[in-house]
Amino acid sequence: MNVVDSMGHERDLRVGKQVLDIASHCQGELTAIVHEKVSGSGGSARYRRLAFIKAPSGVEWSTVPENLELVP
């Protein structure tokens, strides 16, 4: 897993690059991977990873990072 900054953004070499979301078969620029708190507090907090993608049309969506493939 990559380093996560204080805002919950994961440092990933794919950010800023074109990716394919294999779940939706859509392509766009990976804008961020974030760790989002989903439950708990303190030591029992649970997080999920979300990748945010922006298509050339301006449409943005999220998916799990495991669904991403770099576009050659």
pLDDT mean for each 10 residues of the chain (72 residues): 77 95 97 89 81 97 97 94
Contact predicate 71/27, CB 8 Å:
yes
Instruction: Give the amino acid at 66.
Output: E
Instruction: Answer yes or no: are the C-beta atoms of 22 and 68 closer than 8 Å.
Output: yes
d(CA 60, CA 72): 21
Predicted confidence at residue 31, as pLDDT, reads 97
Query: What is residue 42's predicted lDDT score, i.e. its pLDDT?
Result: 66
pLDDT at site 1: 56
Q: Judge whether 9 and 28 are in contact, CB under 8 Å.
A: no
